[in-house]
Structure 1
Amino acid sequence: MSSHHIVRDDQEPALIIANGAACSKELMGQLLEWSPLVIVLDSAMKRVAELGIKVDVLLGDFDRGFDPEYYKGLQYPLEIVHTPDQEKTDLEKAFDYLIGRGFPAVNVIWATGRRADHTITNITNIVRFRDTLKIVILDDHSKIFLLPYKFEKWYPAATPISLIPIGKAAGISTKNLKYPLNNEPLTIGYRNGSSNEVETDGIVVIEHREGNLLMMECFD
């Protein structure tokens, strides 16, 4: 697989490759083409190296006998970032690294599938970064991101959309969804907005007053 785009522009989203289920080569190739910085978590580095992907940063706690210097010899230049803090996941530490570098946004792949605990943690932890980093998690079936308090975007009719609260989100109102909400709450485990869809070609508007609300654009 080819390397990522030669142009460096810190306004473009960086790319993090975690260690969940692999996505298609097509999706990965599209993201690599325009990512100014590619970070790989140590648990995924062997799989990534086998695909022939050039990366910029190898990050993790390097436990279980992991030898980062081996990969430094295979890829040049490669920045090694040792993050031994056990109070955060390696993905969270990668987010912190990007914030420190001044990146405004990041795409994340290989963050879903495989272990269910990792998938749930990876998706829900993005709420901690609401005010510091725009995070989008992608796989071959979904695009997941945290909604601002007012969201507007054009969609074609019948696009599947799910609204999933992290905890409770209140004061939710929507326009141009098949199953509308009118100043209503959603609470994880009790009532969510899964498997809604766009009513007609046009702008979808989603507003909420408080709480954290995830948007999932789904592809069957």
Structure 2
Amino acid sequence: MGKALLFINGKPPIHLPSLQDYQLIACTDGAFHYLESKNFPLEQLDFVSGDFDSYAETPNIIHSEKFIHTPDQENTDFHKALEILIKKDATEVDVYGGSGGEQDHYLGNLNTAYRFFNKVKITFYDEYSRYFFIPNFYQECGVLGKTISLVPFPIAQNITTTGLHWPINQEDLDITTRIGTRNIADGNCFTCRYEKGALLVFISHKRNINFDKVNFQN
């Protein structure tokens, strides 16, 4: 099926991506509320999933043909929506609403993405950046001047980067001792290689406003 767009119940996105870029579009039941308020074209949703605990006053809504009731309380609505998307052959999922709101939800969303890391490519988007788990070797171009952060989950070993103002050379990161936030890409292309663990990369949408003032010769 290809690429999917998923809205979950965090901070509503300020801007929406082009819906034409996706073969599947879905949301969790909590996100359905803010999509309604934003006049989102609900007819383009392929499904809405969740336990529908936010629909206590209108319980019959779960019988709508696009609503998939997933009452399992062992997993989050985000987790269950990913399972449905994978069954529908999604290989990439862009997620909006993954951050903001209650921060325990945000941490839970990262944990869920980690659990699905080897099953589907998940990229979160918010108003500041996009972020995702990377494979043991990752390269991206067109990042000159953007803020790039490397966050181990919980550890990442023997990391080497290129294209960053403060490079990492065969070093370890550990969430309890050292992480790699607020770096800046001083090359058009950024690469990262690591051996073990898991690594989240955050890439800002915009160039760093102080980029032209940074002395990259130091």
For residues 16-75 of structure 1, what are the alpha-carbon distances to aligned partners after superposition, in whole Å with 9 as ceiling and x for unaligned? 1111111113xx1x24232221111111212212222222201001225164644876xx
1:166 alignment counterpart:
153
Q: 2:116 aligns with which of 119, 122, 129?
A: 129
Equivalent residue, structure 2, for 1:6: none
Residue 174 of structure 2 corresponds to 187
Matched with 2:92 is 105
Aligned to 2:212: none
Q: How does 1:63-142 map to 2 (within 5 A)?
A: 63-64=53-54, 65=56, 67=58, 69-70=60-61, 78-142=65-129
Q: 1:31 to 1:164 in 2, by over 3 A?
A: farther
Q: Deviations over 1:70-116 (max 9, x none)?
A: 4876xxxx422111111111001111111111110100001110111
* 1:209 maps onto 2:199 in alignment: no
> C-alpha separation between the residues in 1 aligned to 2:169 and 2:57?
52
Matches within 5 A, 1:49-60: 49-53=36-40, 54=42, 55-60=45-50
Q: Which residue of 2 aligns with 1:18?
A: 8
Do the aligned partners of residues 197 and 60 (structure 1) sit closer, same or farther apart at CA in structure 2, a change above 3 Å counting? Answer: same
Name the % identity: 29
Gaps of 5+ in 2: 207-218
Amino acid at match of 1:15: L
- The 8 Å contact of residues 15 and 31 in structure 1, kept in 2 or not, is answered as no
Q: Which aligned runs of 4 or more in structure 1 are off by greater than 4 angstroms? A: none
Instruction: Calculate the TM-score normalised by the size of structure 2.
Output: 0.86
Q: Is the 8 A contact 1:68 1:80 kept in 2?
A: no
User: How many Å separate the matches in 2 of 1:31 and 1:109?
Assistant: 13
5+ residue gaps, structure 1: 1-9
Distance (whole Å) between structure 2 residues aligned to residue 115 and residue 121 of structure 1? 10
- C-alpha RMSD of the superposition: 1.8
